Every structure is written in structure tokens, then in C-alpha cells.
Structure 1
Amino acid sequence: MRSLAPGIKLITSFSRDSWYRFFILILTFVFYTTYHLSRKPISIVKSQLHRNCSNVIHPADLNITDNDTWCDWAPFDKNNYQNLFGVLDNCFLVAYAIGMFFSGMFGERLPLRYYLSSGMILSGLFTVLFGLGFYWQIHSLWYYCLVQALNGLVQTTGWPAVVACVGNWFGKGKRGFIMGIWNSHTSVGNILGSLIAGVYVSSSWGLSFIVPGIIIASAGVICFLFLVEKPEDVNCTLPQHHESVEQEPLLRNSSSNEEIFSTNTSTAVEPEEDHTEAISFCGALRIPGVVEFSLCLLFAKLVSYTFLYWLPLYIANVAHFDPKEAGDLSTLFDVGGIVGGILAGLISDYSGGRATTCCAMLIIAAPMLFLYNKIGQNGLPTTIGMLLWCGALVNGPYALITTAVSADLGTHECLRGNSRALSTVTAIIDGTGSIGAAIGPLLAGLISPTGWNNVFYMLIAADVLACLLLSRLVYKEVRGWCGYTTRQRGFKEI
């Protein structure tokens, strides 16, 4: 009998469950990549909306009344343009933070496929409307603020929905590593958004928004056509969310081809009861660890989003690159974020210390931010190296908390099998973090006129506070490694 081709052997070595899990992982990766792809253009376009016009060659037939601002886009042609940029960022981020606390509850009660696809289509519409301001010659700050606020609201559909979907399909055993890789969609989206926006920023900055808007709206259509919310919808086995002591060695020593996708299925265990009642907001807050990780994420996301919205402008101002070059160089921060997220997930899986992993990376990040501000512009190699290091250390904890930690807490053993808590817990954690995401860029806009050094001192202080908020959980994890154990009954620790 003839042997099968090696490629066919590889394909057939994976089960039907494995292929579905892989398909959902790729699909949700693409969906949230488009969310971040559509958020990034504003940071690239900022340096085009307000430039040093004295260095720009103007058309011969143009009657110039002010040589310093003729090339700027009103209303950002004023001396307080940095404050206006901060207000613009905050319209998106405050709306996002407020909406996120309600989005999780909607996500628990509505079909994820409809919820996610409608959110992406609406987000595409508002992103396109921002870009059309260029072609419609709109110079009203209120127009751009309104569009950003509405976009922030509809973008809250993304994170709780994709995390809930992935949590439905994957068990706990390799969650940190899998979600560390999967969470690179954030950085991939930022990179693609920067590159796409950079193509049009110097010629027609409206296309820097219109093209990403079309992309995310198209992804919404794909979501409606192909997303499968739960394994039982296609007769796949359910994931096991809680490992027993007897199963743990088996999971860690498994070396089959299906280890990543199917070692955590529930074929060997009794399925848990699935409660139909969604968890309340207060009930989710009582899950051990939710409050600490939420507050930690507030400060971690403050740092990450300040870089997201202000790094290209910082590079352009300090290192004197043009808008496209500054945008391209800023993508290195996100490249480092990909590596940091994967390492954080991998280390926390093998150590069992989610909080300790986050705290260690945040501790190292604080002096690294100080060094980047002091020596980061001393030559291109130094800039590249420091951006990669800062990206890994800043985005690593942020990625771990918003993915593996959120999924762990949303399927916590104290929930006793309630599978409808994941979206609410994810929304609480990311919603709290989004408050920091709103505060960071606003503070950067207010502080940057006094000097970029003060902005970095603010970021370092936020990093230190994020570490301190995890100290109790780190202490518990260290005690566990030393042989001390705690029992949990319901929502209370004894």
C-alpha cells in the first residue's frame, strides 16, 4: 500500500477539533488586528496636521499670510495644537472606557457573531468619516471629536467578544502561551495601521483613515459569514477550564501533534453545569484578583497608549524625522510588544505566576523608559534597540493581563461552571485599563509643552504604581511556590 504524502499526513494528524480551534484563533486574530489597524492612523497623521511650515515648499500661486502655519490643517494650526490633539485622543478613549463597562454585559446577552460584526462595520464607517473630513474640507474640532467619540463607543464591541470567543474554545493548560501569540494582533494591527497610514500621510491624509476603515468593515462581513462562537455549535468537544492535580503532569509532558489545540478538551472529565444566568457587575468584581489586575492594567495601559498615540510625534520632534519615517520607526515598539507578549505568556505558563511575571517586567521597564529618553536618540541603532526593549517590557504585562489573566479570571473555579462570566470580566478589566488609556495621552498633551522629560517621568511613575498594585498577588504566588497553599470557597479566600 502506498504511503500518504508527508503534507497529507501532517494535515490528517490533527483532529477536527484541532482544525476548528486553529480556524477560530486565526479568525479572531484577524478581527482584532483590524480594530487596532483602524485606531493607529491618528497618531501618524498628527505630525502632518501640524508641521513647521517654514521648512515646506509652498505652491507659487498660494497667497501666504502666515509663514509658520500655512501648511497646517485648521483647527490644529494653533500654538496649543498639542492640547487639541490630547482632547481628540480623549474623545475616543473616554468613550471607549465608559462603553467598555457596558459592552461586556451586552456581550454576555447577545450573539457574539452579530455583536462583533456590527461593531466592526460601524467602526469602519466612523473611521472613514474622519478621513472624509480631508476631502470635505472640514475644519471643525467638534466634527472630529464627535466622530472619534462614536468610534470609541463601537470599538468596545471588539475586545470582550474576541476574548470570550477564544475562551470558549481553549482550555487553561497552554492559555498563556497561546494567547501570548494570539495577542500579537494588537501590535500587528498597530504596525499595519502605521504602514498604511504612512503611505498616504504626506499626500492625502484622508486616505490614511479611509483605507483602514474599509478594511475593518470588510472584516465585519467576514465575521458575520464565518465566526463560530462555541465548540458545541459545530459538535466539537468542550475545553477543560480547570486542571486537576492528576491531569497536570499529563498536560505538561504531552508531546503529541495536537498538544496546543486539543490536550485540554473535556473528553476525560465530566462536563460542568452551564448556568444560563449572566454574572452581575458586582459579582464579577468579587472574583479573586479582578480588582488588583484591573487597577494594574489602568497604569500599564496608560503607558502603552501614551506610546501608541504620541511616539511618532515624539520621534519626529526629538529625532527630526519626517512624518512617514517617524511612523515607520515607531512600529519597532510594536515589534518588541509581540515578543514581550509571547514571552510573558510562556513564562507565566511554566511558572504559574501571572502576577509575578507582570511585576518583574514592569520593574525592568521603569529604568528602560528612563534610558530611552536619555540615550534613545543617540544614533539609529540605539533608537532601534531601545524601542524594541521598551516595547517588549511595556506591552508584555499589558498583553498578559488582557488575554490569559482575563480568561483565567473569567473561568475561575469559584464561578462553578458559569460560562457566561468571561465577557463581563474581560470588559471590567479592559474597561478599567481604558481609563488609564484615556488619561495617559491627555496628560502627555498637557505635559509635553513643558518638555518631553516630564512626560517620561509620568510614565515611569505609572509603571511603579502598576507594580505596587500587584504586590499582594505576587506575595501569594511566592508563598505558593514555597509550599504554602490557600483554599477558596465561593468568592472568599480562607
Structure 2
Amino acid sequence: MITKPVITPAANPQVPKPVGNYRWRIVALLFFATVVNYVDRTVLSFTIIDDNFKRDMLGLSANQPLTEAAVAEFKVQMGYVDGAFKLMYALGFILIGWLIDRIGTKKGYSIGIFLWSLAGIGTAFVGSLMGLRFMRGLLGLGEASNFPAAIKTVAEWFPKKERSLANGIFNAGTNIGVILTALTIPFLTLAYGWRASFLITGVLGAFLLIFWWVLYSKPEENKHLSKEELTYINSDASEEQAQEKIPWIKMLSYRQTWALMVGKFLADPIWWFYLFWLPDFFNTNEALDQKLDLKTVGIPFLVIYLVSDVGSIFFGWLSTKFMQMGWSLNKARKTTMLICALCVVPTFFASLTNNIYIAIALIALAASAHQGWSANLYTFGSDLFPKSMVASATGIGGMAGAIGGTLFGIITGIVVAYVGYLPLFIFASVAYLLALGIIQLILPRLEPIKKSEIA
């Protein structure tokens, strides 16, 4: 009788050896950082519906009435304030993206965290629109570090096939940040005043800075990372020109750069429109049968941004799943982005319906699709560029988005004050399809910059 040999799992080449999961702890750190980033960013969005804040910024005394003319002027001025944030955000993407690639993710991101925390705390002490514009500009400069640092970190810690999911997870922190802001800032503002809201949230950045400095290191320098996981992280390193250096100005000569810039220029302003103006939309839009104030605004935002979190992770997973099924990177990314763009189309009806629940549902779907779009667009930096230039590529793309946001933000204040929200929601409905169409024209196939093109 012939006895068949017993094959143990260790001897069976078909059984993959566990590689560890420390890299997902790094994603958790990025998620926490992004939460704090968005808490500090969105405090103002809820503060602008506080009457005391309006009076302070307009230079009115506590007992002076807020006339329609004063409210209209306030909205116009908030458009300029929002524009100051985004203008410096655009500049910050270039400066800090470049800095991160030169001095490393750990040091570069630390500088960004310090700047935005300083601005957050400083806003608690402003007493004029000029001071508010200055602090929001400084906030934008510092906060621009978040995504270049996070995308570069993902490129350093993950192989290509896992990057869209990793990006989707940390990007979900944007929504949690907005949710926490929506649930806490109205309470803090009503109980302690708007200045306390900025002071308390600004201090969060100091704790983040400590966590980041203590916990982060590159994979090759991390003592807790197994050799197997490090090998897995670098499994497709041979496909990337990791050591190539491209001056950021030269990157404008590549189609890949322009594809990333278009996707950000047209889509990012919509997301910022939601972040900054939704509290005012629910507070003042005449079409709605219910109006929300500081006491009631929290729950709708909880719904909208929880759904957004689902979209960020789901569409990041979907793109990864398509690639695991054997789809090309080009097909997986663009198909997922097309689905996201189509989900946004019905959004215009949110400004027409008088049913607040329908408006919330439509905006939640649109915000979810935007986060899915962003999770895939963020991977362009690591899909198309060498690792050593991921932060700069992301910075250039972010700059384009911030420029679009600056222009859209200034226009929004004027349109909201004198026309209403409908034109803005119509543009939001078609922006993603327009962006994807232009990306397809510029870059019919998503493929990395060739080594011969760099020389």
C-alpha cells in the first residue's frame, strides 16, 4: 500500500505566508490626523450661522439687529474669507508638497500640523474680517500638508494594489472630522461662545503633533515591522522609479500631471462648497419646509457624512476589487470614477425640493460619491509618478483644486447672497462627468511616466 505524503500548510507553496498588518496601523494614524485636520477646517462653517459671530465680524454691537442687507454683506465677505483659505491652501500644496519630498514626510507634515494648529488657536482671538482672513489663510497654508503627506505615506507603506483602499480609509477621516464638528461646535458655541470653539479645536493639533512625531517612521526604519511585511510592501518596487527626481516645474510637461489637475480643479470646489456652505444652506434656503439652526443642524450632518464615509471606503474597495479580478489599473480606476460621477447628477434637485429629508439624502449621495472619486483620484499620484515625487504630484493636483475652490468660493458668496443656491447645485451635478471626460481626452490610458520621459 502506497501512503500519500502529508503536505503541511508550511510546505504547500499554494498557501501564502502571513505578512503582518502593521501597515494598517499607519493608515489608522493617517485617519486620526485627517479627522483633526477637518475638525479645524470646518469649525467656521458652523460658526457662520451664529448671530453673535456675524455681529462681531461686521463690527456691530450686541443689541444691533441683523438686517437683510447686513446678512447679504456677511455672506459676500465669507466668500472672500473662504477664498483666502483656499488661495493659501493652493500655495501650501506647492510649498509643503515640495518640502515633504525634500526633508521627508515626518518633518514636513509636522511643520504643517504646527501651522494649522497655530492658526486654529489664533482665530479665537480675531476681532475683524481682516484678522479672520489672515488666520484662515495661515490655516490653509498648514492644512495643505495633510494630503501630500498622507498620499506619500501610503505610497511608502503599501503596494499599488492596496493603495486605493488605504486612501479610502484615511480619507474617510474627513467625514468623521465634519461629523464631530457638527455634533460639538454648535454646543460649544451656544454654551461658551464662538471663540471657545476655535480655541478648543485648535489645541487638538498639538496632541496630533505629539502622536505623529512619536509613532511615525518610514517602513525601512520601523522596528515593529516584520521582514515579510516589508518585502510585501516593496513587492512592486521594481515597477517604480523610486529614486528618480523630477523638478516640479517640469512635471507640468506631462499628461499625467494635467489629468490629475483637471480631476482636482473641477471636483474639489464642490466638496468645499458642501463643507463651508451647507450649514447656511439648511439655515436660509427658502425652498426648504424646515430650517436648521445651531440646535438642530448636527443630526443631518451626521447622516450626510456617515454616508460619505461609506462611499470613501466602498469606492476605494471597489477599485481594488476590480484590479483583483484582473482589470487593468486604467479600467478599474476610470470605471469606479464614472460610477461616482453618475451618482452626483441628481444633486441639483436638492436646491429645488421643499422636503428637507430628500435634500439631505441627495447631498449625502453626492458627498459619498465625491469621497469615492477622491479616493481613486488620490491614487493617481502614486499610480503615475515615482515614489520620490508623490508628494509633489499630489501637491500640484491639490493646488489646482484649491485654485478652482478659490474662484468658486468667491463666486459662491455673491451668488448665494443675491441669486440663491440653484446655479451652484447645477454646476455640482455635472462637474464630475465633465472632469472625467477631460481626463479621458488627456490620458486615454492611465500609465506611469516612463523612465525615458524623465531624462
Deviation at 1:304, TM superposition (A): 0.8
CA contact (8 A) 2:260 2:377 kept: yes
Inter-partner Cα distance in structure 2 for 1:221 and 1:489: 39
- The yes-or-no answer on 1:405 pairing with 2:365 is no
Residue 150 (structure 1) aligned to one of 129, 138, 141: 138
Unaligned segments of structure 2, at least 5 residues: 1-15, 56-60
Shift of 1:297: 1.4
Counterpart CA distance in 2 for 1:169 and 1:193 is: 30
Give the distance between the partners of 1:488 and 1:383, measured in 2 at CA. 43
Taking the TM superposition and a 5 Å limit, the aligned residue runs for 1:64-463 are 64=63, 66-68=64-66, 77=70, 79-133=72-126, 138=127, 140-203=128-191, 204-234=193-223, 236=225, 264-266=232-234, 274-275=242-243, 278-318=245-285, 319-349=290-320, 350=322, 351=327, 352=329, 353-366=332-345, 368-375=346-353, 377-380=354-357, 382-402=358-378, 404-411=379-386, 419-448=387-416, 449-463=418-432
Letter in 1 for 2:47: V
Matched with 2:34 is: 32
* Whole-angstrom distance in 1 between the partners of 2:238 and 2:423: 56
Residue 145 of structure 1: CA displacement?
0.8
Query: What is the DSSP-based 3-state SS (H/G/I as helix, E as strand, rest coil) of the residue aligned with 1:421?
Result: helix
Separation in structure 2 between the aligned mates of residue 326 and residue 265 of structure 1, nearest angstrom: 43
How far apart are 1:262 and its partner, in Å? 7.4
Letter in 2 for 1:354: R
> Over residues 454-493 of structure 1, what are the superposed CA-to-partner deviations in whole Å (9 max), with x where a residue is unaligned?
222232353343232123368547xxxxxxxx99753669
Residue 142 of structure 1 deviates from its aligned partner by: 0.9
Is the 1:38–1:212 contact (alpha carbons within 8 Å) kept by the matching residues of 2?
yes
**Distance (whole Å) between structure 1 residues aligned to residue 104 and residue 298 of structure 2:** 37
Contact 1:50 1:77 in 2 (8 A): no
User: What's the secondary structure of 2:249's corresponding residue?
Assistant: helix
User: Which residue does 1:46 correspond to in 2?
Assistant: 48
Residue 381 of structure 2 aligns to which amino acid in structure 1? S
Name the SS of the counterpart of 1:228 in structure 2: coil
After superposition, the C-alpha distances for 1:81-120 in whole angstroms (9 at most, x for unaligned) are 1111101111111111122112211111113222222321
| Mapped partners of 1:386, 1:263: distance in 2 | 44
Richer in helix (by share) = 2
Q: Number of residue pairs matched?
A: 420
Identity %: 20
Q: Secondary structure at the match of 1:321?
A: coil
The CA deviation at 1:387 is 3.0
CA distance change for structure 1 residues 310 and 234 in 2, over 3 Å: closer, same or farther? Answer: same
Q: Distance in 1 between matches of 2:65 and 2:242?
A: 67
1:127–1:488 CA distance, 2 compared to 1 (3 A): closer
Judging changes above 3 Å, is the alpha-carbon distance between structure 1 residues 112 and 49 closer, same or farther for their aligned structure 2 residues?
farther
User: Is the partner of 2:125 in helix, strand or coil?
Assistant: helix
Q: Name the CA shift for 1:26/1:488 in 2 (closer, same or farther; >3 Å).
A: closer
Under a length normalisation based on structure 1, what TM-score does the superposition of the two structures give?
0.76
Deviation of 1:311 (Å): 0.6
Deviation at 1:327, TM superposition (A): 4.3
- SS in structure 2 of the partner of residue 95 of structure 1: helix
State the Cα distance separating 1:130 from its structure 2 match. 0.7
TM-score, normalising length from structure 2?
A: 0.82
Contact kept? 1:296, 1:465, Cα under 8 Å: no
CA distance in 2 between partners of 1:224 and 1:313 (Å)? 37
**Contact kept? 1:333, 1:390, Cα under 8 Å:** no
Alignment partner, residue 5 of structure 2 = none
99-108 or 118-127, larger mean C-alpha shift:
118-127
Could you tell me how far 1:445 is from its partner in structure 2? 0.7
SS in 2 for 1:323: coil
Which whole-Å CA distance do the structure 2 matches of 1:317 and 1:372 have between them? Answer: 14
Specify every segment of 5 or more residues in structure 1 that has no aligned partner in the other structure, as ranges: 1-12, 54-61, 239-257, 412-418, 478-485
The CA distance in 2 between the partners of 1:283 and 1:430, in whole Å, is: 17
Q: 1:268 to 1:408 in 2, by over 3 A?
A: closer
- Are the aligned partners of 2:343 and 2:366 in contact in 1 as well (CA < 8 Å)? no
Find the aligned partners of 2:239 and 2:270 in 1 and give their Cα distance: 41
Distance 1:266 1:406, change over 3 A: closer
Mapped to 2, the partners of 1:96 and 1:68 lie a distance apart of: 31
Aligned-pair CA distance for 1:237? 7.0
